[in-house]
Amino acid sequence: MTLRLHINDHNFEAEFQALLNSERGTDTDVRSVVADIIADVEATGDTALINYTKKFDRFDMTAESMRVNPEAIKAAKEEVAPKTMAALKLASDRISAFHSKQKPNDIDYRDDAGVRLGERWTPISAAGLYVPGGLASYPSSVLMNAIAAKVAGVARLVMAVPSPDGILNPLVLAAADLAGVDEIYTVGGAQAIAALSFGTETIAAVDKIVGPGNAYVAEAKRQVFGRVGIDTIAGPSEILVVADGESNPEWVAADLLSQAEHDSIAQAILITFDDAFAVKVEEALMAQLDGLPRADIARESWQKHGAILVVESADQAAALIDRIAPEHLELSISDPDSLMGVVKHAGAIFLGRHTPEAIGDYVAGTNHVLPTSRAARFAGGLSVYDFMKRTTFVGCDTESLALIGPAAVLLAEEEGLHAHARSVSMRLDDGK
């Protein structure tokens, strides 16, 4: 039974809070298993990768065959239909164009005291991209992660992708080549994260790891954070659609299912202003389920985690949106800009009735790697900034140090850090 709440229901707040607090993670405790794998890879390098590949992916990999060679990449590209390659190229070009506009500007100026101040942005040297293998093969995610890194200026981009039974998805390899990935290794799971973090005889370590994965990959990223940077610990997919009575209920139902089909723990929520429209959407959704190849997954997601919230005003809708802080927010209403203007927390916003969330997954140009599990309250989606770091700089001369130095001496002495104070005061004394 789908959860349906009206804003005026006497139990609305309690039911809505329960919806926010509902647990959608896995019950598997993988921490100790992942810790053992990481320790093994750190200690034995390639040997551990070879053993885990045989155990989990069921094929014999060697140190020499671990890296995908150019001939295999070329052959994979030839397997992809020309129309599909053209679609990948369109997506690649649009993603690159949007992310190119994100590149930050350096700052360099002198203030009123004559002190030179500024900051400069530089790319990280090496990044690792994890890509799920097997049934969960997403070339679009390769483009989103890899292009952001390359636009940022990352010189060495390494991709780790498992190949169950020795099989690699040709589309994933084609997307990697199109996006400029420098090295591809047929290693997956927590062991791939460990290899990218610590390095092995074959795989050199990177500085930051990005990309989605299963519970073991997510836990491995959590455990290596600090040794390397990571993008985020991704949770289940989410969509929140706000639709008025003028929207097409069939379209809205399809949009809700577009995320429900990802995973049985994904979440799709509808906010609407009309009880009758809510009924139409749910009827359309149930009818469309029957024709979906992933119907069982989408049905479980909708029945266990889906919800319909009926409100009476845009202000009420905005308040609920900010409390949910969704990964994806669709505004299928007459004036989407007005509601977007007051919403504070959403990973990505899709404006109007002709902008389904799925367009952002592939060809819009914005990044589809977005904060989940209400993380949009404090984080944004993957961007060029995730592959760059900011370094500030300061330059004083005799005159400017004389103006601001005495205050530094005083504050250092108040903190009991007398060597700090002396390092400034000696220069002040010598400058007299």
Question: Please, are residues 66 and 185 in contact by the beta-carbon 8 Å criterion?
Answer: yes
H/E element holding 78?
helix 70-79
**Distance (Å, rounded) from C-alpha 80 to C-alpha 82?**
6
Amino acid letter, 127: A
Helices (H), 291-431: 295-305, 314-324, 336-340, 357-362, 398-414, 418-430
232: phi > 0 → left, psi -120 to 50 → alpha, else beta; which?
beta
Instruction: Take residue 187 and report the two structure tokens written for it.
Output: 């290693």
For residue 389, what is the DSSP state?
Answer: E
Locate tokens 């108040």: which residue? 414
**Distance (Å, rounded) from C-alpha 135 to C-alpha 32?**
26
**Distance (Å, rounded) from C-alpha 324 to C-alpha 316?**
13
Question: Please, are residues 268 and 257 in contact by the beta-carbon 8 Å criterion?
Answer: yes
Tell me the catalytic residues: 327-328
Amino acid letter, 247: S
Say what the alpha-carbon torsion angle 419, 422, 423, 427 is, to the nearest 10 degrees. 180
Amino acid letter, 85: M
Angle between helices 398-414 and 418-430 (to 10 degrees): 150
Question: Please, are residues 25 and 218 in contact by the beta-carbon 8 Å criterion?
Answer: no
Question: Please, are residues 232 and 217 in contact by the beta-carbon 8 Å criterion?
Answer: no
Distance of CA 410 to the CA centre of its chain: 45
